[in-house]
Structure 1
Amino acid sequence: MSTLKAVRGTRDLLPPETGLWNFVEETARRVFARYNFWEIRTPIFEETQLFTRGVGEETDIVSKEMYTWEDRARAQSEKSQSLTLRPENTAGVVRAYIEHKLGETGLLQKLYYIGPQFRRERPQKGRYRQFYQIGAEVIGPPSAGSESPLRDAEVLEMLATLLDELGIHGWKLVLNSVGSSSDRPRYVAALREALQDKALQMCVDCQRRAETNPLRVLDCKVPEDQPIIESLPKIADYLDEDSRAHFAAVCAALDACGVKYEVNPRLVRGLDYYTRTTFEFTHGGLGAQNALLGGGRYDGLSEVIGGPKAPGIGFAMGEDRLVLTLQAQAAQHGKLADAYVAPVGEAQNAAALDLARELRRAGLQVELGDGSFRVKKSFEIGNKLARKIVLLGEDEVKSGILTVKDFAKGEQVKVARAELVTVLRQG
């Protein structure tokens, strides 16, 4: 009988790596709370038409990558329906905004989510068929200021803060404006005309996109197609005055708060619902697929899926890639416990448990050994699991003076029990 394994494109997350995932998620929750974002949890699958209408039928996500099935009726009174595992979460959040009439509060809704998404694509480093995203959306009626460029700048400043607090160094913010719904037809017409004589020289996907959705040609990553893409018209030349003013205000606000950025006129992102501001944060440590996160404004999405006018802006960050970046920077968050408490002899097991309980209540991360281990084995295990080891033998129990070794520094010292928490908290 063959051994069962995780399905291709999925994986198990195991300790100690899960400690790093927890660090990322806890940091995100803490930063989002400071900006008054609240968590939303939407279903893991939705009606397929939510994505075909909202994300766009000619996007790669909808045309190639969704996990879709027909959910058969269970009773005569029911109808079968097409369902899809969510490939992204913005459409689901906007659907929830509409369904629960959140716009009737008259206030901006600042919502974040953390969870798995699903796309049938070729697995590679940092890209899986079940992957995890952390994202947020700011959405509301125009009267609440949802169209303001200040909202865009605030989201971007929050993301810069989050990446800094995660300890991710060397990120780059890339910006563009893809214009309003009235700008887009003029630009698409110019693209279609420019591609008439060039599409046949491009990849098969671009040949199809040139007919069905020329804007998606700009998403192409095929190296041989890049010179042609560079020669195509730029969307900045087709923006109306309102769109130009909006983008200029976003940039001015970022300048005012010191967030550095670059403008890339080819950045359009891969979803049809984006309008005006689009952005990516990239990092050199990820190779060719260098985007840590991305997003943009989607002023018409609510109306596309049957809701009221509710401009919004949001983003999604690939948690898998964030973790890879932190690992590449040799981050140690979540990897090692603060202390490994090692009883010397089984007679000290109860005392060791009491000490571990005391340290844990003080907020320290503690791993507990066993008195049946030889001292050498305790040191070997402790060195794998913790920054420091605390030896607890009969003499230590009686005197209250404990032996502590710092594995990184190679130093071993005697510490009074009353000072132990302070010593273990030190680097």
Structure 2
Amino acid sequence: MTSDIITRTAQPAQARWAVFVAFLVHGLLIGAWVPHVALAKERLDVGPGVFGLALLAFSAGAIFAMPVAGVLINRFGSAVMTLVTGMLFCVAFLGPVLAASMPAFVLAGVAMGMMIGSMDVAMNAHGIAVEKALRRPIMSMLHGSFSIGSMFGTFLGAAMLSRFGVLPQAGATALLCLAMLLAASRFFLPGDIDKGLSGTHFAWPTRATIGLGLLCLLALMIEGSILDWAAIMMREKYMIDAGIAALGFGFYQAGMAVARFTGDWIRLKVGAVAMVRVSALLAAAATTVALLAPSPQIAIAAFVFAGLGLGNIAPVLFAGGGRLEPDAPGRGIAAVTTLGYTGFLLGPALLGLVAEATSLTAALFVTVAAALIIAVFAGAARSADSYH
């Protein structure tokens, strides 16, 4: 593995769209997994508490891989790591989709989680490199690409599942994403653009990144909880088909996409702190409506506004992490996202346990409380405005 894998003649304008495709691929794979979540719970024949613990495998894999990804980015560069981890993600996606037993599901979940986490760090680090080369913010746009991918991955995945079944849907998704990533990788910035920037290595959170990391923990706890439980909540509450139930998350991602494609402009106008605070308040209000809705149509509509609120929080926090450690942006992003994925881990498991004692709808109100906490401490996001 060397930086020579990546074309060295790419320009920042080309690289912007190449890393856009990498985010799109990441989202497509995540979205394509969503319709399988409720099916996996039914296939494994377990309750919400046990299934919530099984879902820990995904986040455990991500949390383990993220600090290591910071080391490897420092060694090989973010361009190479984005390509390699993306290719492995396309393969690992098939594991939990096809797992027929709890041990197989857990092992496959760890493998997929490792690729989710390491690709997440790598493509965000490359996004920071492109943003610096362009000298203007693009991180919200890139995360908007992820949301578009998640939305279409969910919608198309649900449709293909209904018409063709599990294996054709999963196989076609993996092959399409692999082809897209290989085509885009030719236009990444040179592989050595951010290689070897720092003499330090392992990406544990530092005093500089701990505040952003804790906010990211809450933001990704919300996102992970909606990812893993919204479709199940919709299916159980309204007694609807699994594909229809997955639309809640799909439209949630649609709202996030709209927010993210306008987020860079909003950040320039009002600043990161104000944007994060207002976004978190909107997410809390809209999620409350979604959880109390008397019909699936109202719930899905409310999830759109919840996505509008949550959409720009994580991109701003990731960007802030990269700015706080300018000599090693990959390590800074890895530190923030490691804490973030701890929330991704704790959220679904915590909600599963709370749901055992109450109900899944009641448990999801934990995400409302998390959004309100983000609004209170939004001041920690001010470092994201230093994008030059």
When normalised by structure 1's length, the TM-score is 0.20
| CA radius of gyration, larger in | 1
Structure number with the higher helix fraction is: 2
> TM-score scaled by structure 2?
0.22
Higher percent of residues as strand: 1
